[in-house]
Structure 1
Amino acid sequence: MAAAEHVDEGDTEDAQRVSAEDDGHPWSYLQTMFSYLGMGANSKTYRMKCMLCLPKCHEIKAFSNSPSNLKKHIERAHPQHLTKYEQRTSQKRKRASEAGTSTLKQTTLLDTRSISQSAVDRAIVKYVVNNLQPLSTVENEAFRELLTDLLPTAKVITRVTLRSRIEDLAKTMKNVLIEEMSEVDHIATTTDAWSVRRSFLGVTAHWVNPTDLTRRSAALACRQLRGSHTFDVLATSLNDIHAEYGIRNKVVRTTTNNGSNFLKAFQVFSVDKNNNEPEEKEDEEENEMEGVEFVDMTSILDENDGFEFELPKHQQCACHLLNLVSTVDAEKATANDGYKKLQCSTFSKCYGVWNKCGRSCQAAEAVEDACSLQLIRPNATRWNSMFMAVESLLKILRERGEPALREICAELKVPM
């Protein structure tokens, strides 16, 4: 009989819990002790009514993230029900923990089974390409161990396979670009050449998608240049890249810096397809400057019989041009003897500090310890490096004052 009464009581509590969940009760397992009246004045509290205080109506506010106020009420007003309250809350926590563990195990098992070897290979290729990692990454013991620890059944592809996959992806992407640019009538390109032990030429393309009018950009090439960066080598390489993607007759402008080799390449091989611009030609003739190099086209054609191509119209980089303008204007300022003397004196001291920090690790560490920053050194190939270098010195003056700068000069043995 007692067992039957116990079952009935359990069934009643389960039914009440289901009913509480339907009514939006935040803690359905406490339904027999507290009923839910609704949200409080703000969304962070609940209004609860104590069922143990009946027939007296006692309303309690409880925070939405914890029923601790309800426990305090039980301890203060109904201590004989405290054990029952703690049993119900502990059972709830246990059920939640078991459910979470079961879900985690099931998710982990399903995820492990769903990852195929081909997906692992694609992930490795994507990691190496997007992060510009060397092909030898797949031979690194730590990388292989990381992958096998995460997925014991996975195999790491070899270096040869990785190279082959990347080459295949490059061919696929190239074909997609060729097909997309075949539907465009006008394309602009940019190009630049640089050297880091070896010489390279980079070319990018830019166009407007005729369907949705969105701007599109793509890197067409980054390939090694052998020999000197002469105008004919640059012109030949750029023409080959345009022809490779089938856009020779679509490129309306090519933007480069103002290097003499690029300027000469376009002076010699660029042909303006719009010959109805007499005003521009007149302006160009009026703006001729001293030092223009006249090229003997006959000798060039005799020496380079294979140059049967033409480059698009040239566009000089505006940013680089403005930098050159400001550089020339800054040089003109030195025509003033007083300014020139002050400039030479100031920058000789600055270069003394910069050179010390660049040649000595101890000097750089001394500056960092004293001022909590590392000085920036001027670099002729970086347009704003002089500004940044001077600004780093001025930052020391602003934040720490002249004594700090004098201390640095004394430490580096540079006259102040």
Structure 2
Amino acid sequence: MSITAEITSGMDVDHHESSGETKSAMHTWRYRHHFTYKADQGKNIIVQCNLCLPRVNLLSTSKTSTSNLKKHLDRTHLGCEARPDVKRGRRKEEHNGDESRHCQLKKLKAEIISKCMTQTKIDQLIFNFIVEDCQSFYVLEQPGFKKLVSGLTDGLKSMDRVTLFTKVDQGFSRMREELMAKLTNIQYVCTTADIWTANSRSFFGMTCHWIDTQSLERKSAALGFARLQGRITHDTIAGRIHDIHVAYNIESKVQTTVTDNGSPFISVFKEFAVDGQESDDDIGFYENVSAVLEGEPEQDMLLFLPTVQRCASHMLEQIVTEDFWQVGMDAAEEIGKMALVVPAVIRWNVEYCAVQKIVSLSERELTELCARLEVPRMQPEEMAFLKEYVTVFHPLAFALELFQAEQKCYLGLVVPTVLSLKNKLNEQKDAATYFGDVINAIVVAIDVRFQELFASTEAKIATATTPQFRLWWMAASDREEMCSLLATEASQIDPCTIVEANTSRNLSTIESEDDFFSYGSPKPTVQIQQRGVVDEIRKYVEGTGKSLECLQDFPRVKQLFLKYNTTLPSTAPVQRLFSQKGNLVTSQRNFLTDDYFERIQLLRYNSNVCTLVTE
């Protein structure tokens, strides 16, 4: 009688083997009770896994081996589900399973070790917590914090404040050394500077920016975040800027320092910049500085500052917050013989976004909003005015966002952006119902405030060496002159800084008579080099690629791009340094000294370019 004929669908392995057939390897297997016999299949048998029920899972295994079934248990039912039958085959199963269990234990031990918290890891996590969130050092002494660390780490302890101070010193020294090492290999840098006052404290901040020569990505770091005490004079600010440049050994690499318009920095650079030719216009008091700028610079101070670049973002904000209101103020003075007091607008783009969201509401949502605020519902004329306000000023808001984008914003972006802004404003003039005169006033204000930038040779070269624009933004009559200017600038670049697209052969190797003999003076070589510069400029200007990657094919143009586009058009980075969540507020309640507060801020800001690791 065959095995298939004598078994039924519910017969288990024990029943099958008691029928008198040849015993299989499962006869002495300790896990045989987890399977039910189903059928023969040549040298194999088909069984059903009882642990997989109610899902029917049929498995095939050799009559002489149970390895396939054991793998199924290990993969699917490892743990309390798959228990051996202590009455069957203990010795044989122990022998067969020793190697498997050893591998599993070894793997489990490795996972536990890798996940195990050590005191070093805990100290590093606490250090990051203090720096990244600007937490008070006194939090380490709080009983609840100590219990939290101990409970989460199974008995490990939190470091004390003395240890934290030591680690901050070590981290700051390591960060400073790493940053200085990075700046050593950088040829051109730009710095931004600003002064801010909060909680009756004034702070001086400075950031540094450069472009990676390989990836052409913008890199940024904070250089200073110092407390200013006493009266703030011109020589004090100049001394701060000069000292930071010298401390990081970048005084000869700084192309420009970007500052706000109307800030005390304008007059400071007028006094101390090497090529300073700033006009007296827009030199005013900076509204965030509580102390008074006074006093003449000391005669014996030998301070030389780089040229200053006025913040393009601030100029756009001034056009809206000052020139826009000036239209209404002039009309009121002419008609009513009165002067208006206009509320100060700190950040116009925040106000614009608020109005934009209001006009995006449906009529039902706007009615509900007015009811909740208990204000009269807006009339159709008022909504039409706000909608036109959003439409007219949308290009300006977009330009402002471009200038404040740190990573992808260069000086070469400013001129094309402002020119495009003027064109888009003029296009809306005829269709405007309420803002026709305002558009005219803003266009005039753009010409006045950006006049110096439009005439700047540096800004023109920065724009021309940006592949996105090249010479397309210029009048056709001016392009030939611009090509000559680029060729002149390119020919003055230090040859050592140029990495040619195709490296020349080694002239020290004599391969033929032509390599041995020298003919005439080196003048033809110079002429060939000049022709090479002109050819490169021509090919670049005639190109159509807009990606920065195409600069890799034009090494001299790339060097010009690095030199002139390292400059940022905005002080947004240093403003972000001041506006980091909680930094100026928590400094008062954290009871940190000025030195340690500055170190925490610099560690925090530079964590993206330097390693935040302590010993």
What TM-score results when the alignment is normalised by the length of structure 2?
A: 0.41
Query: Partner letter of residue 409 of structure 1?
Result: E
**Matched position secondary structure for 1:115:** coil
- State which of 133, 137, 154 in structure 1 corresponds to 2:135: 133
Q: Say yes or no: does 1:223 pair with 2:217.
A: no
Q: Which residues in structure 2 correspond to 1:16-415 (within 5 Å)? A: 32=38, 70=56, 95-98=77-80, 106=109, 109-111=112-114, 114-197=116-199, 198-210=201-213, 213-272=216-275, 300-301=296-297, 304-334=298-328, 335-336=330-331, 380-391=345-356, 394=359, 398-402=363-367, 404-406=369-371, 408-409=373-374
Instruction: Determine if contact 1:232/1:265 at 8 Å carries over to the other structure.
Output: yes
| Matched-pair contact (CA < 8 Å) for 2:273–2:306 | yes
**Alpha carbons 2:190, 2:208 under 8 Å: kept:** yes
Partner SS state of residue 249, structure 2: coil
Q: Which residue number corresponds to residue 26 of structure 2? A: 11
Q: TM-score, normalised by structure 1?
A: 0.58
**How much has 1:158 moved relative to structure 2?**
0.2
Assess, with a 3 A threshold, how the Cα gap between structure 1 residues 327 and 246 changes in structure 2: closer, same or farther.
same
| Matched residue SS, 2:271 | helix
SS at structure 1 position matched to 2:77 = helix
Deviations 1:275-304 (A, max 9, x none): xxxxxx7xx7xxx676879xxxxx935xx1
- Distance (Å, rounded) in 1 between the aligned partners of 2:272 and 2:27: 93
Conserved 8 A contact 2:130-2:137 = yes
Give CA-to-partner distance per residue, 1:77-132, whole Å, 9 cap, x none. xxxxxxxxxxxxxx8999334389x98975775356x4332222122112221222
Structure 1 residues 143 and 30, CA, compared in 2 at 3 Å: closer, same or farther? farther
In the alignment, is the contact (CA less than 8 A) between 1:205 and 1:217 conserved in 2?
yes
Q: What is the CA distance between 1:333 and its match in structure 2? A: 3.0
Q: 2:98 maps to what in 1?
A: none
SS at match of 1:384: helix
CA deviation after TM superposition for structure 1 residue 263, in Å: 0.8
User: 1: CA distance between counterparts of 2:74 and 2:283?
Assistant: 88
Report the alpha carbon displacement of residue 251 of structure 1 after superposing the two structures with TM: 0.7
Structure showing the higher helix proportion among its residues: 1
Letter aligned with residue 346 of structure 2: T
**Offset, 1:175:** 1.1
Residues in 1 aligned to 2:299 and 2:28: alpha-carbon distance in whole angstroms: 98
CA deviation string 1:375-398 (max 9, x = no partner):
xxx973333233244446556674
Task: Describe the superposition over 1:26-59 as per-residue Cα deviations: whole angstroms up to 9, x where unpaired.
Answer: xx96894799xxxxxxxxxxxxxxx79xxxxxxx
Query: Is contact 2:234–2:296 with CA below 8 Å preserved after alignment?
Result: no
SS at match of 1:219: strand
Unpaired segments of 5 or more residues in structure 2? Answer: 1-13, 59-72, 83-103, 285-294, 377-381, 383-615
| Identical positions, percent | 25
RMSD: 4.7
CA distance in 1, matches of 2:157, 2:283: 63
The higher-RCO structure (CA 8 Å, 6+ apart) is 2
Distance verdict in 2 for CA 1:244–1:383, change over 3 Å: farther
Distance 1:403 1:3 in 2: 78
Deviates more, 1:155-164 or 1:114-123: 114-123
Higher strand content, 1 or 2? 1
Assess, with a 3 A threshold, how the Cα gap between structure 1 residues 266 and 398 changes in structure 2: closer, same or farther.
Answer: farther
1:205–1:220 contact (8 Å) kept in structure 2:
yes
